[in-house]
Structure 1
Amino acid sequence: MNSEFQQQQEIRFVTSKDGTRIATATIGRGPIIVRAAHWLTHVSRDPESPIWRHWIAEMSAQNRLVRYDLRGCGLSARDVCDISFEAWLADLEAVTQQINEPFTLIGMSQGAALSIAYALRHPEKVERLILIGGYVQGIRARASEAQHIIEADTLTNLIRLGWGSDLNAFNEVFTNLFIPDGTDEQCAWWQNLERETASPETAALTFEVLQQIDVSDLAPKVNVPTLVLHARNDARVPFEEGQRLAACIPDAQFVPLESANHVLLQDEPAWKTLMASVRAFLPPRLASRPSVGEIALTPAERAVLGMVAKGLGNSDIAANQNKSEKTVRNQVSILFEKFGVHSRAELIVRVLSDP
């Protein structure tokens, strides 16, 4: 499943205004969705991760998904002099420069503020905004008490001391901010990604910049349809900040998510809520597709679909159904066509996430 994803995505590099090389990845076909960069991604590793693969599969099932790594992170240039909000905005401009049709822009976490700034600078490019776990102001920009400053300083120092290391205290604190309900596998992946995606100093500098984000003067000027989603018990960005973000943007829709995770995991009910909300929000040409129960399948196809959804390969399915691998391979290809997907990964997510 993961190798198919890796083969399908196309990784390229673009050059930002200051010469920094930014790694991009595209996957899927159809109207374009661009995901603004945020923390803890690695375009070459994300398709195999238990944190991001369901996001990629679902967002690319009916669309062409474009994502990229932050400067200093992942496959993007690591040795960079300028880590700032303006530099991040210039990187997003470089990534989207060759896109000649309006697209949906998704901003997660600090990517929400970045998406707002981009939408105002390039109104001809952005068709809709989807903002997930975002905020108008970073913790330093909104700090009203000394306690907030202490919290920000503590987290920055923890990053410099424990980023990507085996320090259990750091890993427990930091991981719980993002995926408190994560499994052992998911938490281990998170820790490994820290090592692979950025140095401790780059991570600390990035964290310092996102703490100072302030788009409170820009958000009220947004004039495209906007969907805001936020987990009620998000420890990374308080739920109240999501509510404030939605209140600042004219006519924004707000959807609370019953979760404690800053990054929603595939098996939690909130993931289905998020995807159902996104499908309902997107224009009909992006959102319309039959539910799993509405797709006409033969009994043989339905049996194969059930085993694919359980993660079985063609050889195991063939043995179970007393068929040749060629027959199973053909039936899986028919399922791809009927469900409008391009890989087993997309098919599995399509079946499991159908509301």
Structure 2
Amino acid sequence: MEPRQDLRFCQTPDRVTLACAITGSGPRLVRAGTWVSHVECEAREPDTWSTIEALSHHHTLLRYDPRGCGLSTRDVPPFGFETLVADLETVMDAMAPEPAALLGISCGAPLAIAYAARHPERVSSLVLVNGYARAYFSAPTTPPHLLEEAKLMLATIRQGWAQEKSPFRQIFLAQLMGSDAADPVARHLISERMRLSMTPDVAERHMRINYAIDVKAECALVQCPTLVFHARDDQMVTADQSRKLVAWIPGARFVALDSDSHVLPTRREAGRVFVAETLAFLGGARPDKPRLSRRQKQILGLVAQGMTDKQVARELGLSPRTVEMHVALALRALGCANRAEAVLRADREGLLDDVV
């Protein structure tokens, strides 16, 4: 059974129907349209849904499929960036009449920036993830090799978008997912969403728009508090792009994520940092702080110093088996898959500060 989300629909002035998905309760958080979008597919992806659910604990999260994508009208006339901004205006007018927070991920970031600049009275806060203001064809200093790469992607997208074994699909997923592409389950889910999200023709239209975006001038017009995230090793949009956003948007704050994935952080420490920082920024409560026993804190503190289980056992006068047990309990309490993640999270939560 799929997780619960309410589906609503609104219509643009040119009679395109936009599909919206609503989860949670509380102040509105609206995700600007982004491509590879299919709100029903997202609900079937456990990792993606876990992040959606975490944000929905404190907010009414509204996501929508852009025109030509997902459950929205698929057969659409030619469109450009301004059309996509107008579609966001339609969604905001229909679904978020009061001032709301905007979440812009990837190419949704410049959409959110443009809307916030043009409608400052409608946006309470701005959260941008792996975004940019200028793209390959609009930035004056794009290196020649990146321009050639962009042209090659455009030349092959129609033939390769829906073909699972095409070189385009392999390169695109590798850049989109980073090391997560090595997980066959995660790769299959994103690949399936990619296939179902739009036709090759619409995918090419969106890519051409994305490669030509330029909202640098509008960054200076943003008046609301802004939080900017970027994966340190993003292979699709470099972290330098978000650092430029922070320089161009007045008062914006930057948070680097230890990830190489371009999609919304969902797993491991990067996902937890994103959720915690976003909820705190938007005024919601942070997720409950995990609890560790004094012994678990002691052991993690020594693990953080590079000690093995045997060395920890000798240091504390315990058996290696007892140390292993405490480490396993700490991993469970912290929701981490391995010791490195556990040490990072325990340190970030301040759980190791009082270890003696």
Task: Please give the TM-score of this superposition, normalised by the length of structure 1.
Answer: 0.78
Tell me by how many angstroms 1:13 deviates.
Answer: 1.1
Aligned residue for 1:221, secondary structure, equals coil
Offset, 1:265 = 4.6
Q: Deviations over 1:298-354 (max 9, x none)?
A: xxxxxxxxxxxxxxxxxxxxxxxxxxxxxxxxxxxxxxxxxxxxxxxxxxxx98499
Report if the CA contact (8 A) 2:153-2:168 is conserved. no
- 2:130 and 2:231 in contact (8 A); partners too: yes
Does the 8 Å contact 2:47/2:267 carry over to 1?
no
Q: Which amino acid aligns with 1:281?
A: F
Counterpart of 1:241? 241
Matches for 1:176-215 after TM superposition, within 5 Å: 176-182=174-180, 183-215=183-215
The reply on whether 1:79 has 2:70 as its aligned counterpart is: no
Distance between the aligned counterparts of 1:97 and 1:55, measured in 2?
26
- Counterpart for residue 16 of structure 2: 20
What is the rounded CA distance, in whole Å, between the counterparts of 2:78 and 2:334 in structure 1?
43
> How far, CA to CA, are the matches of 2:140 and 2:150 in structure 1?
9
The answer to whether the 8 Å contact 2:276/2:287 transfers is no
Instruction: Give, in whole Å, the separation in 1 of the partners of 2:6 and 2:279.
Output: 25
Distance, in Å, in 2 between the alignment partners of 1:125 and 1:287 is 23
State the alpha-carbon separation in 1 of the partners of residues 29 and 65 from structure 2.
16
For structure 1, which runs of at least 5 residues remain unmatched after alignment? Answer: 295-349
Task: State the percentage of identical aligned residues.
Answer: 34
Distance in 2, Cα, partners of 1:47 & 1:66: 13
Cα contact 2:55–2:275 (8 A) shared by 1: no
Name 2:150's counterpart in structure 1: 152
Pairwise mapping of residues 204-353 of structure 1 onto structure 2 (< 5 A)? 204-283=204-283, 286-287=284-285, 290-291=288-289, 293=291, 352=335
Alpha-carbon deviation of 1:105?
0.4
2:127 to 127, 130, 134: 130
Partner of 2:63: 67
Q: Which residue of 2 aligns with 1:111?
A: 108
1:142 pairs with 139, 142, 147, which one?
139
**Which amino acid counterpart does residue 178 of structure 1 have in structure 2?**
L
Q: Using the alignment, how far apart are the partners of 2:285 and 2:97 within structure 1?
A: 21
For residues 31-56 of structure 1, the C-alpha deviation after alignment (integer angstroms, 9 at most, x for no partner) is 11100010112112211114521221
Gap change, CA 1:45 and 1:281, over 3 Å in 2: same
3-state SS of paired residue (1:105): strand
Secondary structure at 2:39 match in 1: coil
Map of 1:41 onto structure 2: 37
Summarize the alignment of residues 164-179 of structure 1 with structure 2, pairs less than 5 Å apart: 164-179=162-177
The letter for the 1-side match of 2:242 is G
For residues 206 and 35 of structure 1, the distance between their equivalents in structure 2, rounded to whole angstroms, comes to 17
SS at match of 1:287: coil
144, 160, 163: which one aligns with 1:162: 160
Aligned to 1:30: 26
Specify the SS of the correspondent of 1:234: coil
The amino acid across from 1:237 in the alignment is V
Deviation at 1:147, TM superposition (A): 2.2
Instruction: Return the offset for 1:268.
Output: 2.1
Q: Is contact 1:140-1:148 (8 Å) kept? A: no
Contact map agreement 2:55 2:279 (CA 8 A) in 1: no
Moved more, 104-113 or 148-157: 148-157
Q: Could you tell me how far 1:290 is from its partner in structure 2? A: 4.3
> What is the CA–CA distance in structure 1 between the aligned matches of 2:99 and 2:289, rounded to whole Å?
27
Contact persistence 2:34–2:65 (CA under 8 A): yes
Alignment equivalent of 1:89, drawn from 85, 96, 112: 85
- State the shift of 1:292 in Å: 5.2
- Say whether the 8 Å CA contact 1:219–1:249 is kept in structure 2: yes
CA offsets per residue over residues 221-266 of structure 1, 9 Å max, x none?
2111000010111011011111111111111000111111111453
How many Å separate the matches in 2 of 1:291 and 1:35?
A: 27
Deviations 1:270-311 (A, max 9, x none): 11221222122122xx236643549xxxxxxxxxxxxxxxxx
Give TM-score scaled by structure 2 length: 0.78
**Structure 2 counterpart of 1:64, one-letter code:** T
Partner of 2:326: none
Aligned residue pairs total 294
Distance in 1 separating the partners of 2:226 and 2:156: 35
The alignment partner of 1:44 has SS state of: helix
- The alpha-carbon distance between structure 1 residues 265 and 253, as it changes in their structure 2 partners (threshold 3 A), is closer
Question: Which residue in 1 is equivalent to 2:319?
Answer: none
- Does structure 2 conserve the Cα–Cα contact (< 8 Å) formed by 1:50 and 1:189? no
Cα shift at 1:167:
2.1
Instruction: Give the secondary-structure state (helix, strand or coil) at the position aligned to 2:8.
Output: strand
